[in-house]
Amino acid sequence: MFNTKEILEKLRLNREEHIKIVREAQKGLRDKWRELLTEALEDLMSGDTVETNLHLTVPTNHTDDFDRAIQMFEMTTDKEVGLSETDFQSYVRNEWQWRGQFLASNSMYSVSASVLHNQEV
């Protein structure tokens, strides 16, 4: 059995780290779009060929997964709960099934995601 308060603390800390990466990546994406659009506008104004096939990967966000788990533990009246190995890995160790993909896709725009991704590879 695991202490419900301790699980909640870990989930909240992990959620904050997740949100930090998401915000960094979203800002990085906006900066990249600004750069590409500025270049395209400069090309347009100078009469050069304008690249119209611009594709950027949108950062992923799994905050809802944290919110759902946090709400579940906030609603229980149990001081201790049982967790499967998979749940423990996600909730306590922050090793969700989607974590590798999340760090890889967001590392294009987030230094924090890039550092974590390189540590985990």
Residue 53 confidence (pLDDT) above 90:
no
Closest CA to 40 of 20, 56, 19, 58: 56
pLDDT tens digits along 59-108: 999 999 999 999 999 999 999 999 999 999 999 999 999 999 999 999 99
Identify any residues that bridge with 80 across adjacent strands, giving them in sequence order: 3
Q: Is the separation of the CB atoms in 69 and 91 below 8 Å?
A: yes
How do the domains of the chain map onto residue ranges? 2-120
pLDDT of residue 112: 94
With a cut of 90, say whether residue 120 has pLDDT above it.
no
How does pLDDT run across 1-42, given as a tens digit for each residue? 999 999 999 999 999 999 999 999 999 999 999 999 999 999
